[in-house]
Amino acid sequence: MASATNFTYKGIPFPRAYYTEEDISYVDNEFQMLDDDVIAVTYPRSGTHWMLETLALIRRDGDPTWVLTTPLMERSPWIESSPGLKIALKYPPPRLLATHMPSQLFPKSFLQSKAKVIYVLRNPKDVAVSLYQLTKTMKAVDNHGTLEEFLEVFLKGNVAYGSWFDHVKGWMKLKDRPNFFFITYEELKQDLRGCVERICRFLGKELTGQQIDSVVENASFQKMKDNKMTNGTQLPDFFKDKKEVHMLRKGICEDWKNHITSKEAEKFDCVYREKMQDVNMTFPWD
Ligand code: A3P
């Protein structure tokens, strides 16, 4: 829904403070994906920063210098944000990119390219709680009231980037393409090393055991929370309190149990079952 803080593009809400219709339309219609692009795609709060840090560390063979000295937006620009798009268009290939775009707004050129997409998805109840907590700390986004009120809005998809269900269902339609790889936040939590090995295989990247150890160590929650290039503290005008780390909050699975009541969870599950009934897949939270 359009509001004072959001505009809609093809029915999907975007916060005016961070996006313009021109940039979203450019990404949708004109952005050229290149064969050697690697792009992390997520619904917000599903583990984007975690995947981007991991991919940057893999690219540099486990050496943390790049992630410790270069802001996340410069090493892996969000293509639909105005600063990110400018950086992406000047980025010397091979590019490492990021986006939250739903599949129907993803660059059309992807379909003819060999660009590699890594899609991360997460338990939607944890996504909702994490998103609620984050939006409270952000400037220039809609105030959604209590968590109970926010859950209603979330289940209807009246949040930035639209419905979690549509996002996941849209991207999962691409799951059999050779240049598409998906992984869950829960798998990353359970066995990051095993996930790094799988991601390396998908990327055709060979790392030694020691290099993989370094990727895993430097992509840990604490290392990332301490990394000023990644933790959001240098994002201008994004948060009400710039000094606090809001991007990395708790970094655990099933934190929703500490916030969502059993009655709200029942309602959530009911919508989940209805919306996901045509998805022939099982996820760690099912
Ligand atoms: P919580 O709010 O539940 O803590 P995104 O990057 O897509 O915005 O996702 C943010 C979520 O990923 C936050 O979840 C954040 O704490 C979590 N996260 C980021 N880095 C992580 C890491 N290294 N390990 C575990 N969780 C991480």
The dihedrals phi and psi of 67, each to the nearest 5 degrees, come to -70, -25
The reply to whether CATH 3.40.140.10 applies to domain 6-276 is no
In this prediction the pTM is 0.97
Distance from the CA of 30 to the center of ligand 1, in angstroms? 31
Query: What residue segments make up the domains of the chain, in order of their start?
Result: 6-276
String of b and e for 40-68 (b: at least 16 CB within 10 Å)?
A: bbbbbbbbbbbbbbbbbbbbbebebeebe
pLDDT digits (tens, 9 = 90+) for 135-186: 888 776 767 789 999 999 999 999 999 999 999 999 999 999 999 999 999 9
Distance from the CA of 112 to the center of ligand 1, in angstroms? 32
**pLDDT for position 18:** 87
The dihedrals phi and psi of 205, each to the nearest 5 degrees, come to -110, 130
**pLDDT for position 236:** 64
Q: Please report the atom of ligand 1 found closest to the CA of residue 255.
A: 3
Q: Detail the DSSP E strand segments found in 153-234.
A: 180-184
pLDDT digits (tens, 9 = 90+) for 93-139: 999 999 999 999 999 999 999 999 999 999 999 999 999 999 888 77
Longest dimension (CA), the chain: 51
Distance from the CA of 245 to the center of ligand 1, in angstroms? 11
Q: Please report the atom of ligand 1 found closest to the CA of residue 120.
A: 7
In this structure, are residues 54 and 215 in contact, taking their beta carbons and an 8 Å threshold?
yes
What DSSP letter does each residue of 58-88 carry, written as one string?
Answer: HHTTT-THHHHHS-HHHHS-BTTSHHHHHHH
**Residue 56, CA distances (Å) to 23, 35, 69 in order:** 25, 18, 12
